[in-house]
Amino acid sequence: MEPIYLDHAAATPMHPEALARMLPYMTKHYGNPSSIHSFGREALAAVAEARELIGAALKVSGRRVLFTSGGTESDNLAIHGLAARRGYAGHVITAKTEHHAVLHACERLEELGVQVTYLPVDATGRVKPEEVRQAIRPDTFLITIMYANNETGTIQPMKEIGQIAREAGVLFHTDAVQAFGTVPIDLNALGADLVSLSAHKIGGPKGVGALVVGEKVVLQPLLYGGTQERSRRAGTENVPGIVGFGAVVGLTVSRLAEKRAYLESLRTLLLEELAKHLPQEAFHVNGHPSERLPHIVNISFPGVSAETLLMNLDLAGVAAASGSACTSGSLEPSHVLEAMKVGADCVRSAIRFSFAPVTTKQEIVRAAEIVATFVRRHT
């Protein structure tokens, strides 16, 4: 049987149209965007087009889009780029359930002299806006809260947090890597000053991302060299990757409502099929019941080790995960679920299933049957 891939929150397959757009920039149109000759101008025009496509998807000017190597670099540039401008002094607010690209960046801030508040979350994984407000101090210069969690899919109260940040005069950064291309995002309504994105979560290539930067935000570069990206990120642009990123964003935005509806149907089907094969107490869904992404479902199977289940699923041809892609290879318990206080048994037995438009309903039905078979065997 063909393997079933249910780990699209970690990485998605390349969209064929995005790949087709990229190939000429790996072969025929190979100029450096910084070169003044026709080859360079051709590459520069392709980068500019991708910049505009991404900006349009967020309803902002393409000038605000700064290309990076991915979500991790974007998070680090936002956080450390601001902190360095302040001489690593002051205060930052984040949440305990952030991606490690944010949490570890904030831990490094603390080593350099910045004070960081790590906000708790409720049982669904959401921060309380009022606690964000209460945490703000006179020296707070940044609030960094992810748009939607990469393990549970829980969406944070973004507009409320953005409003609180604006009222306090504090810059607001959000890691929108999992949300972008799956839920509609209007940065003008959101009020975020910095937004991290990544291409490989939505059918684009690995190794390219973006940081969308407010017009008045000044960042200290992390990399020094040339004047690329308006002197904010040195290094020759990854032209094929950027072209692929722009292409897949254009394709995704034009079909967003259709994509969301289909992903939601896959999620519903998985839960319905599990309920057919397992008693109600055999599995528990983690995260917010409604304020969530449609393509991620985090399920605990009490009494079953996540490690054992994942290994058995892999042997049966089903790929899933126990946490984020950056930590799913380790045996550490999920810091997200621990912060949600769902209980030790639920933390130890949690599996993340994630889908994409290429996932079929037949795959979901077969995967649910395989999962249920192993759960029954190990409980």
**Catalytic positions, please?**
326
* 34 backbone φψ class: left, alpha, beta (φ>0; ψ -120 to 50): alpha
Residue among 240, 232, 190 at smallest CA distance from 211: 232
Residue 61 and residue 206: Cα distance in Å, rounded? 24
Share in percent of the chain as helix, strand, coil (round to 5): 45, 15, 40
Which tokens is 131 given? Answer: 């606690």
Which tokens is 173 given? Answer: 């950064």
Which tokens is 303 given? Answer: 């009494």
Buried b (16+ CB within 10 A) or exposed e, 96-107: bbbbbbbbbbbe
Residue among 355, 294, 346 at smallest CA distance from 319: 355
DSSP secondary structure letters along 67-133: EESSHHHHHHHHHHHHHHHTTS-SEEEEETTS-HHHHHHHHHHHHHT-EEEEE---TTSPPPHHHHH
How far CA 242 is from CA of 48, 168, 223, 338, in Å, comes to: 9, 35, 19, 36
How many helices (H) and strands (E) in the chain? 14, 12
Sign of CA dihedral 240, 242, 245, 251: negative
Q: Token pair 């892999």 is at which residue?
A: 314
Residue among 298, 28, 253 at smallest CA distance from 150: 298
Residue 155 and residue 351: Cα distance in Å, rounded? 19
Q: Token pair 């902002």 is at which residue?
A: 60
Residue 300 carries which side chain, given as an amino acid letter? S
